[in-house]
Amino acid sequence: MATRNRTPFPAPPLARFAAPLSAALDRLSPRERKAVLIAGWVVGLGLVWWLAVAPALATLREAPERHTRLDVQLSQMQGMAATANALRSESDAQPPGRDAVLRALEAATAPLGTTVQLSVLGDRATATLRGTAPAALAQWLAQVRINARLLPLETRLTRDAATGGWTGTVVLTGPGLAGGP
């Protein structure tokens, strides 16, 4: 019967570390051994707290604020998606006639009063702004885009330092203006 030459398996890394540690603990008195074990437990629990529990608690504390912030972003994105879908469905439909576009443009411009003057020539409408408030301008551009289906072709605006309003011109164009004088 042949005997095999067996080589021992290498010791697992933990066993290689535990053997000298166990020998060192055996050399200590029972009181010192207890103190070392308590210190080891304290360090181990501290590491568990630092690496696992504290980050999880921080995430739990921040969760309501992040959830609220993400809800706001979601509602904004849903609003933009609804606007895009509405514009997409409107773009598939027949473009409005020139008269409808001009009425929508005038209706959007009326709330701005004397800060905007319109002139229409061919397939372009030019709005001349004088100290128009930024929020009013943004709302006007949105109304013109949605209701009159006109888009800015060219803008030359400067911010008036005294009033904080916009001064300059916005040239608008769209399919509804192309069919008339």
Give tens-digit pLDDT for 58-93: 999 999 999 999 999 999 999 999 988 887 776 666
| Joined tokens for residue 166 | 């916009």
From residue 4, alpha-carbon distances to 1, 9, 67, 150 in Å are 10, 14, 66, 91
Q: Where in the chain are the domains?
A: 14-74, 98-177
| Joined tokens for residue 62 | 């921040």
Task: Say whether domain 98-177 belongs to CATH 3.30.70.60.
Answer: yes
* 3 state SS of 166: strand
| Joined tokens for residue 32 | 């010192």
pLDDT in tens, 9-43: 666 777 777 778 788 888 888 898 889 889 999 99
